[in-house]
Structure 1
Amino acid sequence: MKLTSKLLIAGLMASSIACKDGYIDDITPVPQGTDETPPEVSINFPEPGPLTWVPEEVMAINIDFEVTDDIEIQDIIVTLDGNEIGSFADFKDYRNTAIKLPYENLTNGDHRLTVTANDLSGKTTTNTVDFEKPENYIPQYEGEIFYMPFDDAYLDLVSVMEATIVGEPSFAGESAGGANAYKGAADSYLTFPTTDLTNAEFSASFWYKVNAAPDRAGILVIGPPDQANPDAQNNRTAGFRLFREAAGSNQRIKLNVGNGTGENWFDGGASADLNPSSGEWAHIAISISGTTCAVYINGNPVSQGDYPGISWEGCDILSIGSGAPRFTGWGHLSDNSFIDELRIFDKALSQAEIQGIMDDEQP
């Protein structure tokens, strides 16, 4: 016998032994006529309840569902509010299929999605999801009165009001949450009237990716006019000023609050520093009650203390991304940093509430 033949026989014998020893799994045929269970239908999207609010009256969604069967799926029918919007009968894997079905004409209001799957033995499974396209944004947190996601728009979803745009801010092309984030530019910022924002208690929460240029800037400011210095305003007797300044190679976050007759400072020193070279998003929050103020970075208090209470006298403008026009006397002008998921509350947030927001929005 030739050597090659001997090697071939030896190889076949080894393969046979390996199969018996369990190195290769046996193929178990599916017995015919033993379809015991109906199909399983799982709807991944939409989920029950309201969708994320969008300002458009009509929106597009991708319906996402999966169907499995122990023998073979025959067909799948998808209806929305009783009207058929999709049917499927050809599957690459006849026991398991995952389908994304685009639907472009979802209107405001309540909707019912139904997915019905049939198998070859005549068994049927139907799964239904009731969901809503909200006509208006639904605040996600207690006391939330203002929300800007910066998803390619400078829009407060609570009031459905567009910001006044000064200069040429833009969008970052990235985000901490959602589709985009605010990107500052020289001599550029956003403003809103403070109607309904200046309450006895006040909190703000947002994500921030710091840019060290310029070396100081305003971030979020509500302040009164400075009649004595109209070209370099710096009246700090009312409202608040959240800003940053260089601290060596870092940028330090600081808060100043006006109490009606004077001012109170909340400067956390090195614990309030951000490293611009890290390229990371940081979460910043301020919480102002009638008796205490606190600044949080990434859920941790970096400065806090008692004070006499905030005054809102003359505070009619909210500035985002700059100290201008009400806090420019020390050079805290436009911020080139990124800002995302800005929320304002008519209550003082606790550390646990801030942590909860962070967990929900974690980039």
Structure 2
Amino acid sequence: MVRYTLWLIPALALFLASCSGPNLVCTTPTCPVAHWPLNEAPGATQVQDVVASPVFNTGTPKPGPVAAWPGFSGPSTVNGQSGGAFYFPGNGATWVEVPSTPDLNLSYGSLYLEAYVAPVQCGAGAYYPVLDKWDQVGANGYTLYLEGVGPGQVRAALRLGGGTFASTQTFPANFQPPSTGTWTKVAVKVDGTSGAFYINGNLAGTFTAPSGSTSNALSLWIGALHTAPTGLYHCEIALDELKVGKVNPNFSTQ
């Protein structure tokens, strides 16, 4: 029994090393960098990332711990698309802050952002922050947000480097916290200079992306923007299952 145990220890160590974050092989079209489920309970002081890439990009709720609805000492807990979700008021004073790491400074040509969103109805001229790592001074980085285009309708928007792009498809803005309204899956993918929006998995507009990389030192914010889009006013939104990733250049459908 002792001999078996001694033999097993190095074998187990080798197996665990092969499964560690830096050595994982991505076999899907997009490779996850970070994923925040936003299922934390009231009182939580950390917002967990479930992807080691190779580090966990753990966030901190601001200005205080996660709060039970309708408190706003930090993001408020509401019913989400999957389990819980976070609700952010329309004053920009509540968010989740994730420190900058090299894996969040993605290439413009290899970028994937995804979230389930539930905006309230604010009308045309409103913006709803999803996630943000855009530096206004250097026009460097990325922002995913929604833009109100009419009564009860919004579209997805991406600020990437010096350019801003929007989806061609709109979707409902009708959320009434903590549980009533429509959840919509929004994603944007940039592969080389080819950019595309997806709404609930369906293509919702294409664009030509700029070149560059998101190499700035700004923290990534969830639920608020470092710099508001020009001419728009802040509105309320609930967020769930946020993901940041990169495009897999080795993926093949064959």
Q: TM-score range by the shorter chain?
A: 0.5 to 0.7
**1:337-352 matches, cutoff 5 A:** 337-347=237-247
Q: Tell me how far 1:266 sits from its aligned partner.
A: 2.2
Q: Give 3-state SS (helix, strand or coil) of 1:316's partner.
A: coil
188, 191, 210: which one pairs with 2:97?
Answer: 191
Q: Give 3-state SS (helix, strand or coil) of 2:241's partner.
A: strand
Give the whole-Å Cα distance in 2 for the aligned partners of 1:326 and 1:164. Answer: 19
Q: Which has the higher contact order (CA 8 A, sep 6+)?
A: 2
22, 34, 49: which one pairs with 1:156?
Answer: 49
Q: Residues 213 and 164 from structure 1, CA distance in 2 versus in 1: closer, same or farther, beyond 3 angstroms? A: farther
Give the whole-Å Cα distance in 2 for the aligned partners of 1:282 and 1:297. Answer: 7
For residues 64-103 of structure 1, what are the alpha-carbon distances to aligned partners after superposition, in whole Å with 9 as ceiling and x for unaligned? xxxxxxxxxxxxxxxxxxxxxxxxxxxxxxxxxxxxxxxx
Q: Residues 245 and 199 from structure 1, CA distance in 2 versus in 1: closer, same or farther, beyond 3 angstroms? A: closer
Q: Residues 247 and 328 from structure 1, CA distance in 2 versus in 1: closer, same or farther, beyond 3 angstroms? A: closer
Q: Is the 8 A contact 2:75 2:88 kept in 1?
A: yes
Give the whole-Å Cα distance in 2 for the aligned partners of 1:197 and 1:163. Answer: 13
Q: Does 1:299 align with 2:208?
A: no
Give the whole-Å Cα distance in 2 for the aligned partners of 1:338 and 1:253. Answer: 15
Give the whole-Å Cα distance in 1 for the aligned partners of 2:62 and 2:117. Answer: 20
Give the whole-Å Cα distance in 2 for the aligned partners of 1:310 and 1:284. Answer: 23
Identity %: 19
- 2:84 matched residue in structure 1: 180
**1:241-320 matches, cutoff 5 A:** 241-249=143-151, 250-258=153-161, 263-269=162-168, 271-276=169-174, 279-314=181-216, 316-320=218-222
Q: Is the 8 A contact 2:33 2:245 kept in 1?
A: yes
Q: Residues 281 and 242 from structure 1, CA distance in 2 versus in 1: closer, same or farther, beyond 3 angstroms? A: same
Give the whole-Å Cα distance in 2 for the aligned partners of 1:332 and 1:315. Answer: 26
Q: Is the 8 A contact 2:75 2:96 kept in 1?
A: no
Q: Is the 8 A contact 1:266 1:303 kept in 2?
A: no
Q: Tell me how far 1:265 sits from its aligned partner.
A: 3.2
Q: Is the 8 A contact 1:284 1:297 kept in 2?
A: yes
Letter in 1 for 2:174: P
Q: Tell me how far 1:332 sits from its aligned partner.
A: 5.4
Q: Does 1:220 align with 2:131?
A: yes
> Across the two proteins, how many residue pairs are aligned to each other?
200
For residues 300-341 of structure 1, what are the alpha-carbon distances to aligned partners after superposition, in whole Å with 9 as ceiling and x for unaligned? 121212233243243532111111x244654554x5211111
Q: Tell me how far 1:348 sits from its aligned partner.
A: 6.3
Letter in 1 for 2:210: P
Letter in 2 for 1:304: T
For residues 26-81 of structure 1, what are the alpha-carbon distances to aligned partners after superposition, in whole Å with 9 as ceiling and x for unaligned? xxxxxxxxxxxxxxxxxxxxxxxxxxxxxxxxxxxxxxxxxxxxxxxxxxxxxxxx
Q: Does 1:203 align with 2:103?
A: no
**1:61-140 matches, cutoff 5 A:** none
121, 129, 147: which one pairs with 2:35?
Answer: 147
Letter in 1 for 2:186: I
Q: Is the 8 A contact 1:291 1:307 kept in 2?
A: yes
Q: Tell me how far 1:146 sits from its aligned partner.
A: 0.6
Give the whole-Å Cα distance in 1 for the aligned partners of 2:27 and 2:182. Answer: 25
- 1:50 matched residue in structure 2: none
Q: Tell me how far 1:244 sits from its aligned partner.
A: 2.0
> Can you give the 5+ residue segments of structure 1 that lack an aligned partner in the other structure?
1-109, 111-133, 227-234, 354-363
TM-score, with length taken from structure 2: 0.66
**1:31-50 matches, cutoff 5 A:** none
Q: Give 3-state SS (helix, strand or coil) of 1:239's partner.
A: strand
CA RMSD of aligned residues (A): 3.3
For residues 113-151 of structure 1, what are the alpha-carbon distances to aligned partners after superposition, in whole Å with 9 as ceiling and x for unaligned? xxxxxxxxxxxxxxxxxxxxx999x99984112111111
Give the whole-Å Cα distance in 2 for the aligned partners of 1:155 and 1:161. Answer: 7
Higher Rg:
1
> Can you give the 5+ residue segments of structure 2 that lack an aligned partner in the other structure?
1-11, 13-18, 64-72
Give the whole-Å Cα distance in 2 for the aligned partners of 1:266 and 1:328. Answer: 12
Letter in 1 for 2:154: Q
Q: Residues 190 and 140 from structure 1, CA distance in 2 versus in 1: closer, same or farther, beyond 3 angstroms? A: farther
TM-score, with length taken from structure 1: 0.48
Q: Is the 8 A contact 2:160 2:210 kept in 1?
A: no
